[in-house]
């Protein structure tokens, strides 16, 4: 019966392959999942961890596949392959160090930190190629360059990444109230700390301290299991927890959609209250004012009744002013952007992160500069378009939206086409669709919805009141 160490030695190639695959999948998954338009600072930091995963995976596969090529390739080609191999190791650890710098939530990060990382890589290169010279395919040179990369870059990079990820988790992720994702990041941070030991301090046997005491051979003798197995296990934990924690971006998207829904409901409610004020309360107060004024005209001049009626007229006038002020505040959400050209507003909407984080938005606006709408009409029009965009995100599950605006003579024509699910056959107008129809009626326009490879919304609105 073979021993445990012999078993792992016999399956050395399989372990190398699995180890490389774990880190390569980590990097690849991050590239696929990370959102460029995400507002989370983590999204901008994870690219360095992706770089580490992919380059480190390629390096480990190099340990498996490069020796096989010696039978087919020339000696000079093999030297180049071994050179690239060791540079990949140093580059992978440099990416890990950069991740540690980038993910730390400190607001005082400067170029000096990045220069330090580059300087550390250059220092490794000087030691590997000048202080410890040798043929690139020489086993002693490969061991020395490997050990130097792990001591100088891998060990501090892993420790910094573990610490920074922990701090970032508590300061940036924990306030989002997502316990499972916080737990995943915590485990990933602990795993990076363990990797600093098994991946940064246990090196091939070399002739300088501490590699002449603590190295792969001694570790295998003491423990009975090569450090590559522990690195593979730690790498698997890092990959699993980070990939699991990437659900933070899906959560961010869901919360954006929720915010859109809440904002649309609030805007619609503001519009309803504004109409109620205009058509109900203001008109009633104004009518009451007219009645009091008519009573004032038939009252005896300078009598007590006349004085009280005049005070009542003043109070009613002040009430109308207050109601109109409240009406203006309710319309404020439609006036924020209404004073700007419509084409500019449409192009700005295409860049809105609330939408382009989830949709590819394209705009074609062929509008004459001399034709404009009033601020109030532009505000209503943009509110209708925002509602259509929100519906494409929330309900249609669309991936693309195209907005086309053109001059139709007396009217403005707008077509909004998405590639989503379209409207169901049996549909009762919800809050959003009713709001779009109500605003269109206020503009004396027409709006139509048609299922055509998604939903096509056609809006025709007169330029003038």
Strands 360-366 and 400-407, bridge-based pairing: parallel
Which fold would CATH assign to domain 342-462? Heat Shock Protein 90 (3.30.565)
- Identify the burial level of 18 via C-beta atoms within 10 angstroms of its C-beta, where 0-12 means exposed, 13-18 middle and 19 or more buried: middle
Residue 404 has pLDDT above 80, yes or no: yes
Contact (Cβ atoms closer than 8 angstroms) between residue 172 and residue 105? yes
pLDDT score of 50: 95
The two structure tokens encoding residue 138 = 């020489």
More confident: 293 or 218: 218
Contact (Cβ atoms closer than 8 angstroms) between residue 91 and residue 55? yes
The per-residue DSSP string of 52-115 comes to HHHHHHHHHHHHHHHHHHTTTS-HHHHHHHHHHHHHHHHHHHHHHHHHHHHHS--TT--HHHHH
> Strand, coil or helix: what is 336?
coil
pLDDT band of 415, cuts 50, 70, 90: very high
pLDDT score of 36: 59
Pick the range with the lowest mean pLDDT from 78-87, 178-187, 329-338, 394-403: 329-338
Tokens 């990959």 sit at which residue? 239
pLDDT band of 397, cuts 50, 70, 90: confident
CA dist., res. 148 & res. 144, Å (int): 6
Residue 240 has pLDDT above 60, yes or no: yes
> Strand, coil or helix: what is 413?
strand
Cβ count within 10 A of residue 192: 29
Could you tell me what percent of the chain has a pLDDT over 90?
38
Query: What's the rounded mean pLDDT across residues 197-211?
Result: 93
pLDDT band of 294, cuts 50, 70, 90: confident
CA dist., res. 75 & res. 79, Å (int): 6
Residue 338 has pLDDT above 50, yes or no: no
The per-residue DSSP string of 265-308 comes to HHHHHHHHHHHHIIIIIHHHHHHHHHHHHHHHHHSPTTSHHHHH
Residue 38 has pLDDT above 90, yes or no: no
**Residue 413: which residues within 8 A CB-CB, separation 6 or more?**
405, 406, 407, 458, 459, 460
pLDDT, mean over the chain:
84
pLDDT score of 428: 66
Residue 426 has pLDDT above 50, yes or no: yes
pLDDT score of 336: 46
More confident: 152 or 302: 152
Residue-wise pLDDT for 119-148, tens only, equals 999 999 999 988 877 776 688 999 999 999
Query: What's the rounded mean pLDDT across residues 173-197?
Result: 93
Considering 167-176, 300-309, 329-338, the range whose residues carry the highest mean pLDDT is: 167-176
Q: In this structure, what DSSP letter does residue 199 have?
A: T
Query: What's the rounded mean pLDDT across residues 210-237?
Result: 92
Residue 459 has pLDDT above 90, yes or no: yes
pLDDT score of 224: 86
pLDDT score of 339: 59
pLDDT band of 177, cuts 50, 70, 90: confident
> Strand, coil or helix: what is 415?
strand
Residue-wise pLDDT for 62-71, tens only, equals 988 998 888 8
Query: What's the rounded mean pLDDT across residues 342-354?
Result: 83
pLDDT score of 28: 93
Contact (Cβ atoms closer than 8 angstroms) between residue 381 and residue 399? no
Query: What's the rounded mean pLDDT across residues 380-409?
Result: 85
pLDDT band of 371, cuts 50, 70, 90: confident
pLDDT score of 196: 96
Q: Which of 392, 349, 376, 387 is nearest to 268 (CA)?
A: 387
């Amino acid at each position: 019966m073979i021993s445990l160490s012999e078993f792992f030695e016999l399956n050395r190639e399989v372990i190398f392959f699995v180890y490389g695959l774990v880190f390569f999948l980590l990097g690849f998954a991050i590239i696929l999942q990370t959102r460029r338009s995400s507002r989370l600072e983590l999204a901008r930091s994870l690219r360095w961890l992706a770089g580490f995963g992919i380059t480190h995976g390629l390096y480990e596969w190099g340990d498996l596949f490069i020796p096989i090529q010696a039978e087919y390739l020339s000696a000079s080609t093999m030297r180049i392959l071994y050179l690239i191999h060791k540079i990949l190791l140093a580059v992978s650890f440099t990416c890990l160090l950069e991740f540690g710098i980038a993910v730390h939530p400190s607001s005082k990060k400067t170029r000096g930190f990045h220069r330090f990382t580059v300087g550390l890589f250059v220092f490794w290169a000087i030691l590997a190629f000048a202080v410890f010279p040798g043929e690139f395919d020489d086993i002693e040179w490969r061991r020395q360059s490997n050990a130097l990369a792990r001591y100088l870059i891998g060990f501090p990079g892993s420790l910094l990444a573990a610490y920074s990820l922990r701090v970032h988790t508590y300061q940036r992720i924990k306030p989002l109230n997502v316990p499972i994702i916080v737990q995943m990041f915590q485990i990933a941070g602990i795993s990076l700390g363990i990797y600093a030991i098994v991946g940064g301090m246990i090196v091939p046997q070399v002739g300088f301290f501490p590699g002449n005491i603590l190295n792969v051979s001694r570790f295998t003798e003491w423990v009975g299991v090569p450090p590559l197995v522990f690195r593979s296990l730690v790498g698997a934990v890092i990959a699993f927890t980070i990939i699991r924690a990437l659900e933070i971006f899906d959560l961010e998207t869901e919360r954006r959609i929720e915010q859109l829904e809440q904002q649309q409901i609030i805007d619609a409610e503001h519009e309803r209250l504004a109409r109620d004020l205009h058509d109900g309360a203001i008109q009633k107060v104004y009518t009451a004012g007219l009645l009091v004024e008519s009573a004032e005209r038939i009252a005896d001049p300078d009598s007590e009744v006349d004085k009280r009626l005049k005070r009542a007229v003043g109070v009613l006038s002040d009430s109308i002013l207050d109601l109109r002020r409240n009406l203006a505040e309710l319309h404020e959400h439609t006036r924020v952007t209404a004073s700007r050209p419509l084409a500019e507003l449409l192009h700005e909407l295409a860049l809105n992160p609330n939408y382009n984080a989830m949709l590819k938005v394209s705009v074609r606006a062929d509008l004459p500069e001399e034709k404009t709408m009033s601020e109030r009409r532009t505000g209503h029009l943009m509110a209708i378009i925002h509602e259509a965009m929100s519906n494409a995100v929330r309900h249609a599950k669309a991936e693309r939206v195209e907005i086309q605006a053109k001059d139709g003579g007396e009217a403005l024509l707008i077509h909004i086409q998405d590639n989503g699910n379209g409207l169901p056959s049996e549909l009762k107008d919800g809050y959003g669709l009713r709001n779009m129809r109500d605003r269109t009626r206020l503009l004396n326009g027409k709006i139509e919805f048609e299922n055509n490879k998604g939903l096509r919304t056609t809006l025709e609105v007169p330029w003038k009141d």
